[in-house]
């Protein structure tokens, strides 16, 4: 309830009340919410229709409320007292008392002064004084809770313009300091300036304190305010040491180019492997994105190369609702560079440019590929270049009986500096009919014919002991029928599904002639995932031939108490052995090896899975994969094991692989977590591969991570040994500018 103490009565009293309220609202709203003075008064005047009997919000969303408003005509003072509130939208100012000196054009708010702005920042003052032109203001004992939960406090506050404010004897921290002890870290400065237009906070004579102990001084420091978004400046560094690099230091500098693009340049200094820099560039377009990443290093005393480096480029563009294009470029100057300098180092670097078209029933793609081997030494001139690889797929809509047609086409041009060059054109037409009987049996009938044509140069033919250049081709008719019968049972809380599956497929024998090269079907893995595939070769150059039967059994059970179990096992019977399959592929001979899997998940705290391929004659393991994870976040463990029997007749596996990996992670407190892992080679030349331990501390204002790794592998200039990596982040001021020249301040 607003009460008015002034001479006069009736309509004049109400008009005086409205005028006084509009003056106060305009002055205080304009000052604390950075509205232009004239606009603030105009908006408040629009609220003059509010009656003295209460505080109502107008259409312009401006409100002044108080227990009492009085006007001293002799002193020319307007006073609002008792739970004073000024509100505009999401912005609110509260005080016990506000006095406006109309002669000096100064308003003073006292007693529990606080304001909330539309960004979520809350200000607290012992007292606040502002001038009517809104250009100057003073405050005492200022405390600020910013929108990102960081805190700022100072002894005094002065507003020197509509955009710039100054704080004196100020302290800034994002840490929770409400517990009475010193925050983990804070910045103390004699003077702090906030530029609202630049969205920057500047410090003079600043000390960084950790647990109350000064650890770093700079005469000048600046960082963006929480609403600023990206700003150019230094990011926090990375410090480490390793056998390959010695002590190394990375100091990133972030460049905010525009709202849609930015970059990061990071000088990379090492004690043992030269100096250089990494770079990142990111840009968003209306219809796509571009990301560039790379590095250049020079001065490595262990090698003769003057400059080494790598480049990664990624782009995606949606040309319209049907077409998309993109690139993935991954290049390195040599085979050991990425591992030596601690970059991501896959076995192969693949560069690809593509275009794709999608419609409701069809898909088209055009690709080019370039490869770089990063492990075993491979002659660069023998690595193929693919330019182009064209693919087209089309499906018709189902007809009245549910059948549909499919058409697939593929074209390849592959060449090398030395070795075989391949040109291929392939097409397939297929008819498909899925059908479910009244008894629950599910049939899938398929009939197709495929034609492949090749032109090859310099193809080695071991059987004929010659080199072939010319054309070759084949026609592959194929038919298959798959039968499944899902049997469902619900008894005593157990939901079970048992599903026998049989597939019969047939195609002519002897279609993998020696005059047809094998570029894309070298790596064959027979397992439970392709047990019921018509053709288990991954590519086009080899086809599975002859009549065969794929058969197996799937079973799954669910119970709220014991969890979920799923399993599958099966085998292939071939009426005539196919010479395309090697002895250890699991598919040679009449009967194949047995393949399958077992997965068990009793709860979110435990899961285990096992995949296998065992010899058909003696059940000896040919391939085994085991994985298990168990435990809560307090102590979570993961264990995996893999064994692959060597197949000396292929170019892919050079020896049996047997490897174990174990990892333990723990979040043992609110802020602390650790992870430890070990990878072990259990084969003939066994031994440790890599052991790693990491510990991380993270709270609301600080992150620190320490990683120690022992890598036991070596490759030319990549040496085995221990590496230590330390990283830390002072949250909310990741973008920092340091400048020791005080004369260069803005």
Considering the chain, what is the average pLDDT of its residues? 84
Structural Rg of the chain based on CA atoms: 37
pLDDT at 55: 43
User: 114: which strand partners?
Assistant: 94, 124
385 vs 65, which has greater pLDDT?
A: 385
Per-residue pLDDT of 431-480, as tens digits, reads 999 999 999 999 999 999 999 999 999 999 988 889 999 999 999 999 99
Residue 531: C-alpha distances to residues 65, 540, 569 (Å): 77, 18, 9
Q: Which of 9-18, 207-216, 471-480 has the highest mean pLDDT?
A: 471-480
User: How does DSSP assign 293-356, residue by residue?
Assistant: EEEEEE--TTS--SEEEEEEEEEEEE-SSSEEEEEEEEEESSSSHHHHTT----SEEEEEEEEE
For the entire predicted model, the pTM comes to 0.76
13 vs 451, which has greater pLDDT?
A: 451
* Spacing of C-alpha 525 from chain mean position: 30
Comparing CA positions, the residue from 84, 109, 91, 101 lying closest to residue 29 is 91
pLDDT at 180: 61
Task: Report whether 515 contacts 468 (CB < 8 A).
Answer: yes
User: How does DSSP assign 32-64, residue by residue?
Assistant: HTT--HHHHHHHHHHGGGS-TTS----TT-EEE
Per-residue pLDDT of 246-281, as tens digits, reads 999 999 999 989 989 999 999 999 998 999 999 999
Q: What is the phi/psi pair of residue 459, to 5°?
A: -90, 120
pLDDT at 732 over 70: no
Per-residue pLDDT of 522-551, as tens digits, reads 888 899 999 999 999 989 999 999 999 999
Q: What is the phi/psi pair of residue 340, to 5°?
A: -65, -35
| Orientation angle between helical segments 37-46 and 10-32, nearest 10 degrees | 150
Residue with tokens 């979570």: 636
pLDDT at 592 over 60: yes
pLDDT at 589 over 80: yes
pLDDT at 125: 86
pLDDT at 90 over 50: yes
Listed in sequence order, the residues at least 6 apart from 587 whose beta carbon sits closer than 8 Å to its beta carbon are: 524, 526, 536, 572, 574, 578, 581, 593
Listed in sequence order, the residues at least 6 apart from 163 whose beta carbon sits closer than 8 Å to its beta carbon are: 34, 195, 196, 197
Bridge pairing between strands 68-72 and 3-5: parallel
Q: Which helix (H) or strand (E) holds 595?
A: strand 594-603
Task: Report whether 150 contacts 730 (CB < 8 A).
Answer: no
Distance CA 194, CA 203 (A): 9
Per-residue pLDDT of 91-141, as tens digits, reads 788 889 888 888 888 888 888 888 787 767 788 888 888 765 545 678 888
Task: Calculate mean pLDDT across residues 193-210.
Answer: 85
User: How does DSSP assign 661-715, residue by residue?
Assistant: EEEEEE--SSSEEEEEEEEEE-STT-EEEEEEEEEEEE-SSEEEEEEEEEE---B
Bridge pairing between strands 261-270 and 253-258: antiparallel
Distance CA 205, CA 498 (A): 75
Distance CA 198, CA 232 (A): 12
pLDDT at 454: 97
Per-residue pLDDT of 648-707, as tens digits, reads 554 444 568 899 999 999 998 888 999 999 999 998 777 899 999 999 998 888 888 899
Burial of 392 (0-12, 13-18, 19+ CB in 10 A): middle
């Amino acid at each position: 309830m607003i009460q008015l103490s002034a001479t006069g009565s009736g309509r004049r009293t109400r008009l005086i009340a409205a005028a006084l309220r509009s003056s106060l609202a305009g002055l205080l709203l304009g000052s604390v919410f950075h509205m232009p003075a004239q606009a603030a008064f105009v908006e408040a005047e629009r609220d003059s229709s509010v009656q003295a009997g209460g505080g109502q919000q107008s259409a312009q969303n401006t409100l002044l409320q108080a227990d009492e408003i009085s006007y001293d005509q002799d002193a020319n003072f307007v006073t609002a007292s008792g739970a004073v509130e000024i509100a505009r939208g999401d912005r609110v100012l509260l005080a016990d008392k506000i006095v406006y000196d109309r002669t000096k054009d100064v308003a003073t708010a006292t007693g529990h002064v606080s304001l909330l702005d539309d960004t979520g920042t809350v200000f607290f003052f012992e007292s606040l004084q502002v001038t009517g032109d809104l250009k100057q203001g003073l405050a005492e004992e200022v405390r600020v809770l910013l929108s990102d939960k960081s805190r700022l406090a100072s002894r005094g506050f002065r507003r020197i313009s509509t955009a710039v404010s100054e704080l004196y004897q100020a302290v800034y921290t994002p840490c929770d300091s409400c517990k009475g002890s010193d925050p983990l870290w804070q910045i103390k400065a004699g003077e702090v300036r906030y530029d609202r237009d630049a969205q920057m906070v500047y410090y003079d004579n600043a000390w960084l304190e950790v647990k109350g102990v000064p650890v770093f001084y700079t005469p000048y420091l600046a960082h963006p305010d929480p609403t600023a978004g990206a700003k150019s400046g230094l990011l926090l560094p990375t410090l480490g040491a390793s056998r390959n690099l010695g002590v190394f230091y990375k100091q990133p500098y972030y460049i905010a180019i525009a709202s849609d693009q930015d970059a990061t340049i990071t000088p990379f200094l090492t004690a043992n492997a030269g100096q250089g820099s990494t770079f990142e560039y990111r840009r968003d377009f209306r219809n796509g994105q571009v990301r560039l990443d790379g590095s250049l290093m020079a001065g490595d005393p262990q090698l003769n190369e003057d400059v080494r480096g790598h480049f990664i480029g990624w782009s995606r563009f949606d040309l319209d609702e049907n077409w998309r294009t993109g690139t993935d470029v991954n290049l390195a100057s040599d085979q050991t560079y990425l591992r030596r300098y601690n970059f991501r180092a896959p076995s192969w670097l693949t560069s690809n440019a593509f275009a794709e078209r999608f419609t409701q029933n069809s898909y088209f793609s055009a690709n080019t590929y370039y490869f770089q081997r990063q492990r075993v030494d491979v002659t660069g001139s023998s690595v193929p270049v693919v330019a182009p690889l064209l693919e087209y797929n089309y499906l018709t809509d189902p007809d009245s009986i549910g059948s549909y047609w499919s058409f697939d086409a593929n074209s390849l041009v592959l060449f090398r500096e030395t070795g075989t060059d391949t040109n291929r054109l392939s097409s397939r037409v297929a008819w498909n009919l899925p059908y479910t009987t009244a008894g629950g049996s599910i049939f899938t009938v398929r009939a197709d014919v495929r034609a492949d044509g090749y032109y090859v140069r310099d193809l080695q033919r071991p059987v004929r002991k010659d080199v072939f250049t010319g054309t070759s081709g084949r026609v592959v008719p194929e038919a298959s029928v798959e039968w499944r019968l899902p049997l469902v049972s619900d008894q005593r809380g157990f939901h079970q599904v048992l599903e026998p599956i049989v597939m019969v497929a047939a195609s002519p024998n002897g279609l993998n002639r020696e005059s047809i090269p094998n570029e894309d079907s070298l790596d064959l893995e027979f397992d439970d995932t392709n047990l019921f595939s018509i053709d288990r070769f991954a590519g086009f150059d080899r086809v599975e031939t002859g009549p065969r039967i794929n058969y197996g059994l799937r079973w799954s059970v669910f119970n709220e108490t014991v969890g979920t179990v799923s399993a599958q096992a099966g085998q292939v019977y071939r009426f005539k052995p196919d010479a395309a399959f090697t002895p250890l592929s699991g598919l040679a001979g009449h009967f194949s090896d047995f393949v399958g899997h077992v997965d068990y998940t009793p709860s979110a705290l435990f899961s285990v899975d096992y995949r296998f391929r065992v010899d058909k004659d003696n059940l000896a393991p040919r391939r085994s994969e085991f994985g298990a994870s168990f435990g809560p976040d307090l102590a979570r463990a993961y264990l995996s094991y893999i064994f692959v029997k060597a197949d000396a007749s292929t170019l892919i596996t050079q020896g049996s692989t047997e490897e174990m990996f174990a990892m333990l992670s723990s979040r043992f407190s609110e802020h602390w977590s650790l992870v430890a892992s070990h990878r072990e080679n259990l084969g003939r030349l066994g031994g440790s591969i890599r052991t790693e331990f990491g510990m991380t501390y993270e709270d609301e204002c600080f992150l620190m991570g320490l990683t120690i790794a022992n890598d036991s592998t070596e490759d030319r200039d990549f040496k085995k040994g221990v590496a230590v990596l330390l990283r830390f982040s002072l949250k909310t001021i990741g973008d920092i500018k340091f400048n020791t020249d005080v004369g260069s301040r803005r």
